[in-house]
Amino acid sequence: MKYVIIGNGIAGVSAAEAIRATAPDGEIIMIADETFPPYSRPMISHVLDGSQPHAKLPIRSERFYEDLNITPLLGQRAAGIDVAGRQVALADGSRVDFDRLLIAAGADPRPLKVEGVDLGNVFYMRTQAHVQRQVAALDKARRAVVLGGGLVGFKAAYGLLKRGVDVTMLITSDYPLSMQVDPFAGGMILDELVHRGLTVEVGVSVNGFQGNGKVQAAVTDAGTRLPCDLVIIGKGVLPVRDFIPKAAIEVDLGVTVDAHLQTSVKDIYAAGDVAEMMDIARGCPWVNALWPEAAAQGRVAGLNMTGRPVAYPGSLSRNVMRVFDLDVLTVGNANPRADENCRVVQAGGPGRGHYRRLVLKDGVLVGAVMINCIEQGGVLRALIENRVPIRLPPEKLIAPGFNYGQLISN
C-alpha cells in the first residue's frame, strides 16, 4: 500500500506516525513545499520576540524520516491531483502515484492585495522562513506597522515591542481579537495593549505601502502616512486548496470531510488547517485552524487510511493566551450572531479585574470567554464537547467562585 501525504506540518506528521504504527510495511511519501524538517509553527512568535532560538523549533529528530522509513519530497509544492489516475502532480512537472492520499497542506497567509506589498521588509508571519527574515531585519528596524488584530497580529506586535521597536497596530475591526472574543472583552484587551505601549488604531485599513526598494511608510484608507521600516501582515489564513480539483473533490472554505476525515472521494482524506468538518459548538461545518486540532485530526486520518475505522468527534475552537497582564481564554462559539438565538450571560469588567461570558443554546453551553480567573477553562471545554445539559439558571453560572465541575458530576 502506498500512502502519500501532502504537507509535513503537525497533521501530516501525526498521520505518518499513525500509519507507520499500524502499517509497518506500507510505503509513505511526504510532500512539502518547505525545506525544513517538521517544526512547531506556534513557536515562531517566540523566535521573533527573542525568547527562543531557531534551534528549538523542530518537533521531531533529524532522523524522523529515516526512522519511520518515509520518503520526503521537500521543497515541492503540490500542483494538482489526478483523482482518476491516482496521482499527485508537483510544481516541477513530476507525478507521484498513491493508493491512499492525505491532504494536509495547511493554510497560507491571507494575501494583502495593495500597492507596495512586494517592497522589502514587508512580511507575512506563518513560516520559519518568514520569521528568519524578520529577525534578520530587526537590526535596522525602529518603527514597525502590524496589520491585523488577531492572534498573529498580537504576537507579532508583542515580539517587536519586546525587541525595542516602536509598534503601531492597524486593526480593521472595532477591537482586537474580534474573531475570538466579544466587544466587551475586546475593549479590555485594547486598553491593555495601549497601556503597555502599543499604538493601536481600530477601524483602519491599509491602502498601500511606499518606499524605495524597502518599505518606508504605510498609507491608511484615511490617507494617513505612517513612517515605518518594517511591516508584518497578520490578516488571518486561508486553507491551501488551489491544487485541488473542485469538480472532483468537494471543497467549501476548506476540503469537506466526513466523520472519518475522508473527502467526497474514496481513499482521499484531509486533516488540519485545510480540512472543514462539523464544529461541535456551532453545529455546522467549520475550519478551525488550531495546532491541537491538526495533531488529533492527523492521527485519526492516518488510522482510517490504514483501515482502522476511527470517528472524529468534530472540531472545536479554543485559545488560551497571555496578553501582557491579562489571561484570556476563549472556547467554542463565544461571539454568536444575533440570528443564532443564543442566550448570553456575563459578569465582571475592567474595574473588577476579571470578566466572564457564557453562551448557551437550547440548554447547552456552546461558548465562553474568560479574562483572568481562567482556571476552570478546561471544565467549560468539557461541558461544550460533551454537550452537557445545563439545568441551573444561567445567572448562577457566573456567580463568583461557581464550580463548573459539579455540572459534569451531576
Number of separate domains in the chain: 3
Do 126 and 231 lie in one domain? The reply is yes
Do 137 and 222 lie in one domain? The reply is yes
Over residues 364-390, mean pLDDT: 94
Strand, helix or coil at 9?
coil
Tell whether 319 is covered by a domain.
no
Owning domain of residue 396? 325-409
Q: Is the pLDDT of residue 64 over 80?
A: yes
Q: Are 191 and 350 in contact (CB under 8 A)?
A: yes
DSSP for 77-116 reads -EEEEETTTTEEEETTS-EEE-SEEEE---EEEPPP-SBT
Listed residues 235, 265, 295: the one ending a domain: 235
Q: How confident is the model at residue 117 (pLDDT cuts 50, 70, 90)?
A: very high
Listed residues 251, 277, 305: the one ending a domain: 305
Do 381 and 399 lie in one domain? The reply is yes
Do 104 and 126 lie in one domain? The reply is no
Q: How confident is the model at residue 395 (pLDDT cuts 50, 70, 90)?
A: confident
Q: Read off the pLDDT of residues 182-209 as tens digits, 9 standing for 90 and up.
A: 999 999 999 999 999 999 999 999 999 9
Q: How confident is the model at residue 306 (pLDDT cuts 50, 70, 90)?
A: very high
Tell whether 318 is covered by a domain.
no
Over residues 152-172, mean pLDDT: 97
Predicted confidence at residue 400, as pLDDT, reads 77
The amino acid present at 259, given as its one-letter code, is A
Predicted confidence at residue 106, as pLDDT, reads 97
Predicted confidence at residue 351, as pLDDT, reads 76
Tell whether 310 is covered by a domain.
no
Tell whether 52 is covered by a domain.
yes
Do 199 and 345 lie in one domain? The reply is no
Do 204 and 266 lie in one domain? The reply is no
Tell whether 315 is covered by a domain.
no
Predicted confidence at residue 182, as pLDDT, reads 94
Angle between helices 291-305 and 10-22 (to 10 degrees): 30
Q: Read off the pLDDT of residues 213-246 as tens digits, 9 standing for 90 and up.
A: 999 999 999 999 999 999 999 999 999 999 999 9
Do 80 and 154 lie in one domain? The reply is no
Strand, helix or coil at 139?
helix
Please give the backbone phi and psi of residue 191, each rounded to the nearest 5 degrees, phi first.
-60, -40
Do 279 and 227 lie in one domain? The reply is no
Do 228 and 246 lie in one domain? The reply is no
Q: Read off the pLDDT of residues 19-47 as tens digits, 9 standing for 90 and up.
A: 999 999 999 999 999 999 999 999 999 99
* Distance (Å, whole) CA 308 – CA 301: 10
User: pTM value?
Assistant: 0.96
Predicted confidence at residue 405, as pLDDT, reads 83
Query: Dihedral sign, CA of 301, 303, 308, 314?
Result: negative
Mean per-residue pLDDT of the chain: 96
The two most distant CA atoms of the chain are separated, in Å, by: 66
* Distance (Å, whole) CA 97 – CA 118: 36
Do 210 and 277 lie in one domain? The reply is no
Listed residues 250, 272, 305: the one ending a domain: 305
Predicted confidence at residue 399, as pLDDT, reads 82
Tell whether 71 is covered by a domain.
yes
Q: How confident is the model at residue 71 (pLDDT cuts 50, 70, 90)?
A: very high
Over residues 253-265, mean pLDDT: 98
CATH number at residue 389: 3.30.390.30
Over residues 144-158, mean pLDDT: 97
Over residues 297-312, mean pLDDT: 98
Do 301 and 257 lie in one domain? The reply is yes
Percent of the residues in the chain that have a pLDDT greater than 70, as a whole number? 100
C-alpha distances (whole Å) from 395 to each of 61, 253, 343, 410 are 50, 37, 11, 18
Tell whether 138 is covered by a domain.
yes
Do 65 and 151 lie in one domain? The reply is no
Q: Is the pLDDT of residue 409 over 80?
A: no
Predicted confidence at residue 353, as pLDDT, reads 83
CATH number at residue 74: 3.50.50.60
Tell whether 17 is covered by a domain.
yes
Q: Is the pLDDT of residue 410 over 60?
A: no
